[in-house]
């Protein structure tokens, strides 16, 4: 994509499930990157204790997704149908967020962004999201320890979607990880920190 856009150098920022994509770019393309960051990022699921602190809904999902190959297609098919009413689907998804994240979900401007994102993610059905869900359940295929460039990381300690155990593992495994952890904050803490985050990636 960078080639198609004519971008010789660029920064990457992986939010939530975007974490492995940002990390693999930092590992594979350090000479092309001006910066790399991970926000509220999911970590490898094969690490002991990786899902400790995760919401029950998400923990059960990741426990069975690798064992039942058909499950992601079924679940994402159902979610795709629900996404036709994105505002209602967002309300149903509230259970996976910690209490500290609930006020963010009530902000009209953020709800508009999240519902638009949900609609776009499932615009062509559930096959793509199901494929991605399987990727999360597998080994990442590279070692975080082999990343040679600096990686910035921001993570709320009350995150119930991608728990703090994941953030701490990422920070410990990446050799030059510049991590910031926020007590009392959750998955959506970055919403109010975007200027600070982007400034770190693009000084």
Domain spans in the chain, listed from the N-terminal domain onward: 2-201
Q: Does residue 186 register a pLDDT over 80? A: yes
- pLDDT band at residue 69 under the 50/70/90 scheme: confident
Q: Does residue 203 register a pLDDT over 80? A: no
- pLDDT band at residue 52 under the 50/70/90 scheme: confident
Q: Does residue 173 register a pLDDT over 90? A: yes
Q: CB–CB of 189/154 below 8 Å? A: yes
Bridge partners (DSSP) of residue 36 are 12
Q: Does residue 25 register a pLDDT over 90? A: yes
Region 169-173: what's the mean pLDDT?
97
Q: Does residue 194 register a pLDDT over 80? A: yes
- pLDDT band at residue 114 under the 50/70/90 scheme: very high
| Overall size of the chain counted in residues | 203
- pLDDT band at residue 164 under the 50/70/90 scheme: very high
pLDDT > 70 fraction of the chain, expressed in percent and rounded: 100
Q: Does residue 66 register a pLDDT over 90? A: no
Q: Does residue 43 register a pLDDT over 90? A: yes
**Which of these, 50, 9, 44, lies nearest to 23 by C-alpha position?**
44
The single residue listed with the structure tokens 């050799």 is: 175
| Average pLDDT, rounded, for the chain | 91
- pLDDT band at residue 62 under the 50/70/90 scheme: confident
d(CA 155, CA 170): 10
d(CA 180, CA 171): 9
Instruction: Please give the pLDDT value at position 33.
Output: 96
DSSP 140-160: -SS-GGG--S-EEEEEETT-S
d(CA 95, CA 102): 9
For residue 44 the two structure tokens come to 């490898």
How deeply is 144 buried, as exposed, middle or buried, from its count of CB atoms within 10 A (0-12, 13-18, 19+)?
buried
More confident residue, 78 or 63: 78
Instruction: Please give the pLDDT value at position 83.
Output: 87
Q: Which CATH number is correct for 2-201, 3.40.50.2300, 3.40.50.1820, 3.30.465.10, 3.40.630.30?
A: 3.40.50.1820
Q: Does residue 53 register a pLDDT over 90? A: no
Q: Does residue 67 register a pLDDT over 80? A: no
């Amino acid at each position: 994509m960078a080639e198609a856009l004519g971008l010789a150098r660029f920064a990457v920022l992986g939010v939530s499930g975007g974490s492995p994509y940002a990390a693999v770019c930092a590992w594979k393309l350090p000479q092309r990157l001006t910066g790399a960051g991970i926000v509220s990022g999911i970590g490898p699921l094969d690490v002991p204790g990786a899902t400790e602190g995760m919401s029950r809904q998400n923990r059960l999902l990741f426990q069975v997704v690798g064992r039942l190959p058909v499950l992601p297609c079924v679940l994402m098919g159902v979610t795709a149908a629900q996404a036709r009413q994105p505002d209602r689907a967002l309300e149903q998804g509230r259970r996976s967020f910690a209490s500290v994240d609930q006020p963010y979900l009530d902000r009209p401007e953020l709800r508009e962004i999240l519902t638009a994102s949900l609609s776009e993610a499932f615009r062509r059905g559930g096959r793509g999201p199901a494929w991605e869900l399987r990727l999360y359940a597998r080994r990442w295929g590279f070692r975080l320890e082999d990343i040679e460039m600096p990686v910035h990381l921001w993570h709320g300690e009350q995150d119930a979607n991608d728990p703090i155990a994941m953030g701490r593992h990422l920070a410990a495994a990446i050799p030059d990880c510049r991590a910031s952890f926020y007590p009392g904050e959750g998955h959506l803490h970055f919403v109010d920190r975007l200027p600070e985050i982007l400034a770190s990636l693009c000084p």
